[in-house]
Structure 1
Amino acid sequence: MADIHPTAAVAPGAVIGEGCRVGPACVVGPEVVLEAGVDLLSHVVVDGRTRLGAGVKVYPFATIGMAPQDLKYKGEPTGCEIGARTLVREHATIHRGSVGGDGMTRVGADCMIMAVAHVAHDCVLDDRVILANNVMLGGHVRIGDTVFVGGGTAIHQFVRIGRQAVIGGMSGVEADVIPYGSAMGNRARMIGLNLIGLKRRGFTRPQIHALRGAFRLLFKEPGVFSDRLADAEARWPDDALVAEIVAFIKAESRRGLCKAGRDLDAGDEDDAA
C-alpha cells in the first residue's frame, strides 16, 4: 500500500500509512508515524517520536525530528508533529522538543517551510504559516496562524508572533509582534499593520478601521503605554480583533513587546478600503 524505494532505510516499528512514498536514500526512524499520502522525495531523514500528517511533502536533504541543539538534552523521549499538507523544502531542519519545554515541536497544517529554514526545539507554529528561505527560529518560538516570515529573518527564542502578522525579510526579531502587525528591521520594529494581508483575506472595512485606530493609539500616541492600553479596551469594548491584540499584549511574555519604529504607519484611509 506504500511505495518504499529499495535504497530507503525504514526502521522496524515505523508506521507507514496508505499511499505514502519513501524515496531514494531516505531514513525513517523506529518511532516515526507517516500518515496517509506522505511523500518523502529523496535523502530525507525523519527521526525520533515524530508524526507527519496526511499529505505532508518533504523535499531532499530536509531533516525532521532530530535531537534538539540544546546542551541540556540528554536523549529524553521528546517529539515532533507536522500538520497535514505542510510542505518542507530542501535542507530545512525541524528539531524535536526538549525537556526545557513541553517536549514537543509542533508545525500546523498547510504550512510551508522553505529551503534552509530552521525550526528549533519546542517551537509551535499554527496553521498556514510560511517561513521563507533561511528563516531561523530559536527555541520555544510561538507563531500564530497565517503569519508570513520573510527570508533570512532570525527570531529570538521565546518570541511570540501574533496571527495574521507579517515579518519583513532580513529582520532580527527580539520581541513579541502583535496580531495583524507588520515588523521589520535589524533590530525589528513595528512599522504598521499587515494591511495587504488583511484585505486579501477578506477583513471588512470597519474591522480594518478599528484595527488602525487601536494601532495608532497604542503605538503613535504620547503617554504611558499602560494607560493607552486601557484606553483601547474602553474605546473598542465589543471589537473582537482589538480585544485579541489587547489580550496578546497582556499575556505573559519573556521577551516584551516589539517597539514602534520611526517610520511607523498604520496605513492611510485609502489603503484600508
Structure 2
Amino acid sequence: MPASSFPRSLALPVSRRRLTQALALLSLPALALSTARPARAALPQGSHAAMVAFDGLYIPALFLTGAAPKSDEGPARAGAAMQRLQQAWPQQRLALQALAPSARPWREALAAVDRHLARATAEVGQRRWEASHETLERVRETLFEARRALGIDYALDDFTAFHGAMEAIANRSVVPPAQREALERDYARARALWRRIERLELDPARWGLSPARQAQLRQGLADEDRALARLSQALAAGAPESALLQAGAALKGPFVKAYTAFGWPAGETPALAG
C-alpha cells in the first residue's frame, strides 16, 4: 500500500473580520516559535523503528490507564498493558539510547523515562489510575522535548504538539465574553498544528499499521478535521458559550482515535520496515 496521505483542511465559512483576525494570529511570533520545526538530525539505522516500537507499547498503557475506571475490565487491561511496557523497556531503552548515545539531553531524557515508568508501574499496582496516567503523560512530554532539542524529526511529536493545543480548548469549562479572543487564539494555534499533521505522509509498513488501525487512523483524522471545522464555524457565528464548549470538547475523541491507532494491541508485534 502506498504511503497514506492525510485529508486536506476543510474550507470554512468565516466573516471578513474573523478572517483578518485569524491571519493576524497566524503571523504572531509566539505562534511561529511554537510550531517551528527544528533542523533535522541524522540518525543511525533502525532509529525510527526503535521509536515506533516503543510507542507501540507505550500508547496502549497511556490510553488504558486513563480509561481503567470506566469499565469492569478496564483495570485488568491497564495492568496488562503496563506490564507489557515495563517488561519490554530494558531492551527498548538500549535501542532508543543508540539514537544519540553521546547527547546529554537524550541520556537525561531516558533516565527520566526510567523514573516515570517505575513510578507509573507502582501507581498502577495501587490502582491510582489518574496518577498513573498523568505520570505516563510525562514520558511522552519528556521524549518530545528531547527530540525537539536535538532536531530529531518524528511524526508522532506533531501529534503531541497538537494534543497540548487541543486540550487547552477541550478542557475549558467556561468561555465568558472576555475570553472569546483567547479561545480564538487557541483555535488558531491548534489549527496551525493540525495542518502540519495533515501534511504528514506515513508509510504503514514503517509505522506498523495494520489494515484495521489504518482505517482507525483515517477515521480519526477525518473526524478531527470536521470537529475543528465546527469549532471554527461556532466562533465565526458568535455562538453562545454552551455551543463553544460543546464544539471544543468534541475535539478530544477523534484525536484519541487517531493517536491510539499507533498503539499495538495485545498479541500484536508488527514487523517494521526501515
TM-score using structure 2 length: 0.27
* Larger helix proportion of the pair: 2
Bigger radius of gyration, 1 or 2?
1
* Larger strand proportion of the pair: 1
- Structure with larger RCO (C-alpha < 8 A, sep 6+): 2
